């Protein structure tokens, strides 16, 4: 990953280059900011720039030297990846147990979509963590001198997911660092990092992309202008969310139709037709079902926000807006919380492999009661 491969964030890139060029790289650097803003890509580009043996006059890694080629295949001998994992066989695991999966994940999703990582772990209900065994593993690996480069680099994704014992173990490494080791940590929620670790890092704040930047990124990936424009307004600067929305643009139209059908038939109390509706949703498959429930929750929230009469707060497509203008009075302070909780519970049930026909019919019947609450 080169700096040139990452759209935007020119101020951050400039600061990172300057650190390296002036020989004042901190031993622990924390990239913090919202998910989907390219933080991990920036950390990868910095690691490659540090190790590159032929940096360009423009301030980037060359992309051609052996070190750069190793970085591009995630195989640089002096680079260690540390990230949240799930237990294997009921026992705590370390990053090396999943390193092949993680390399594939980094190559496919450079903006580090955590939901996609859950799917790669094949355990969508899990809570991946960085276990104390990972701290012990890092300590052993970092005890050796750098083999090829001046610095060993640890690319650590989501330190907020440390187990407490792991955080204490890492604290010792950060407080008393090896002279040839640099920690590059990347966090989506730095407030959850152990304060003693957070205070010992130099922080790099990475802001979310604006709508125009996000639209340009999507167009650069081959999405049409209309899709890119719609998605950029809705995704709030999160590239991962934008890609999910863009990839399901056709499905989103189907989701919209299903949502409208649910609300109209629930208001009319057409239980028999809602039974047929639940069978249609159940036929989508588990992943689209969860995406549909997420979509429903978003439209419920948008409908409630419409009461504020401030269009700047809305992130709706033209079709969604046309429907919501008429629908929003039915979502109010008496039912919005219960409505969102209802969809959230359905999502959990689907994720847990519950019978989708039962889940969605139960949801539809409960919507009948909620939609008339005033």
pLDDT for residue 124: 61
Choose between 103 and 93: higher pLDDT: 103
Three-state DSSP class for residue 32: strand
Better pLDDT: 276 or 146: 276
DSSP-assigned beta bridge partners for residue 202: 29
CA distance 191 to 160: 8
Confidence tier at 250 by pLDDT (50, 70, 90): low
Q: What is the pLDDT of residues 121-174, one digit of tens each?
A: 876 667 888 988 888 888 888 887 667 889 999 999 999 998 878 787 788 788
Most confident listed range (60-74, 112-126, 244-258): 60-74
Checking if the pLDDT of 101 tops 90, the result is: yes
Tell me what pLDDT residue 264 has: 96
Quick one: tokens of 294? Answer: 């997420």
Neighbours of 99 (CB within 10 A): 15
pLDDT at 237 over 80: yes
Q: What is the pLDDT of residue 249?
A: 62
**Section 347-365 average pLDDT:** 94
CA 155, CA 17: separation in Å to the nearest integer? 17
Sorting pLDDT into bands at 50, 70 and 90, what band is 194?
confident
Q: Is the confidence at residue 62, as pLDDT, over 70?
A: yes
325-355 pLDDT tens trace: 999 999 999 999 999 999 999 999 998 889 9
User: Does position 285 have pLDDT exceeding 90, yes or no?
Assistant: no
153: Cβ contacts below 8 Å, ≥ 6 apart: 47, 50, 51, 78, 79, 80, 181, 182, 183, 184
CA 287/CA 17 separation, integer angstroms:
41
Cβ burial of 351 (10 Å; 0-12, 13-18, 19+) is: middle
From first CA to last CA, the distance across the chain in angstroms is: 54
- Name the residue with higher pLDDT: 225 or 43: 43
Q: Scanning the structure block, which residue is given the tokens 């609450």? A: 373
Q: Examine the pLDDT at 311 and tell me if it is beyond 90.
A: no
Alpha helices in the chain (DSSP H): 10-21, 39-51, 66-72, 99-108, 114-120, 132-142, 164-175, 195-198, 211-220, 225-235, 239-247, 249-267, 271-282, 286-305, 318-327, 336-351, 356-371
CB contact set of 300 (below 8 Å; sequence gap of 6+): 331, 336, 339, 340, 343
0.85 surpassed by pTM? no
Cα diameter, the chain: 72
CA 267 to each of CA 50, 209, 295, 331: distance values in angstroms, whole numbers, following the listed order: 61, 39, 19, 12
At residue 23, does pLDDT exceed 80? yes
How confident is residue 228, by pLDDT bands cut at 50, 70 and 90? Answer: confident
Average pLDDT taken over every residue of the chain: 90
């Amino acid at each position: 990953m080169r700096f040139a491969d990452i759209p935007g964030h020119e101020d951050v890139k400039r600061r990172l280059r300057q650190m390296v060029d002036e020989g004042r790289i901190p031993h622990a650097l924390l990239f913090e900011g919202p998910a989907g803003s390219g933080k991990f890509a920036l950390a990868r580009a910095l690691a490659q720039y540090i190790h590159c043996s032929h940096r360009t006059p423009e301030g980037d890694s060359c992309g051609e030297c052996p070190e750069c080629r190793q970085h591009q295949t995630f195989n640089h001998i002096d680079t260690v990846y540390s990230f949240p994992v799930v237990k294997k066989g009921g026992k705590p695991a370390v990053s090396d147990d999943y390193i092949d999966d993680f390399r594939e994940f980094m190559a496919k999703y450079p903006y580090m979509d955590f939901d996609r990582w859950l799917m790669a772990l094949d355990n969508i209900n899990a809570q991946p963590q960085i276990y104390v065994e990972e701290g012990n593993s890092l300590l052993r690996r970092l005890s050796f001198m750098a083999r090829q480069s001046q610095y060993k680099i640890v690319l650590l994704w989501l330190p907020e997911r440390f187990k407490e014992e792991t955080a204490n173990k890492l604290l010792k490494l950060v407080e008393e660092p090896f002279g040839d080791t640099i920690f590059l940590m990347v966090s989506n929620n730095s407030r959850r990092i152990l304060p003693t670790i957070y205070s010992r890092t130099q922080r790099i704040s990475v802001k979310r992309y604006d709508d125009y930047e996000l639209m340009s990124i999507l167009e650069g990936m081959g999405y049409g202008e209309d899709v890119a424009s719609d998605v950029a307004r809705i995704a709030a600067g999160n590239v991962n969310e934008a890609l999910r929305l863009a990839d399901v643009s056709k499905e989103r139209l189907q989701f919209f139709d299903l949502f409208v059908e649910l609300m109209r038939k629930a208001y009319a109390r057409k239980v028999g037709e809602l039974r047929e509706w639940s069978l249609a949703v159940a036929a989508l498959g588990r992943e689209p079902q969860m995406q549909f429930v997420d979509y429903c929750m978003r439209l419920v929230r948008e409908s409630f926000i419409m009461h504020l009469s401030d269009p700047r707060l809305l992130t709706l497509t033209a079709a969604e807006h046309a429907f919501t203008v008429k629908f929003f009075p039915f979502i109010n302070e008496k039912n919005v919380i219960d409505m969102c909780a209802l969809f959230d519970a359905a999502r959990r049930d689907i994720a847990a492999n519950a019978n989708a026909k039962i889940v969605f019919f139960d949801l539809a019947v409960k919507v009948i009661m909620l939609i008339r609450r005033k």
